[in-house]
Chains A and B, each alone.
Chain A
Amino acid sequence: EAGVAQSPRYKIIEKRQSVAFWCNPISGHATLYWYQQILGQGPKLLIQFQNNGVVDDSQLPKDRFSAERLKGVDSTLKIQPAKLEDSAVYLCASSLGEFDGYTFGSGTRLTVV
Chain B
Amino acid sequence: AQSVAQPEDQVKVAEGNPLTVKCTYSVSGNPYLFWYVQYPNRGLQFLLKYITGDNLVKGSYGFEAEFNKSQTSFHLKKPSALVSDSALYFCAVRVRSGYSTLTFGKGTMLLVSP
Which residues of A are interface residues toward B (Cβ below 8 A)? 4, 6, 33, 40-45, 48, 55-56, 91, 93, 98-99, 101-107, 109
Contacts and interface: CB of A to CB of B under 8 A. Distances in A.
Contacts of B92: 42
B90 A42 contact: yes
B102 A41 contact: no
Nearest to A41: B106
Interface residues of B, number: 23
B49 interface: yes
Interface stretch (B39-47, B63-71, B77-85): B39-47
A107 B39 CA distance: 12
A91 B106 contact: no
Query: Nearest 5 CB-CB pairs, A to B?
Result: A42-B104, A104-B43, A104-B44, A106-B43, A101-B46
B107 A42 contact: yes
Contact of B90 (A4, A33, A43): A43
Given A42-B90, A42-B107, A43-B90, A105 B43 contact: yes
Contact of B102 (A102, A107, A109): A102
Given A42-B90, A91-B43, A101 B34 contact: yes
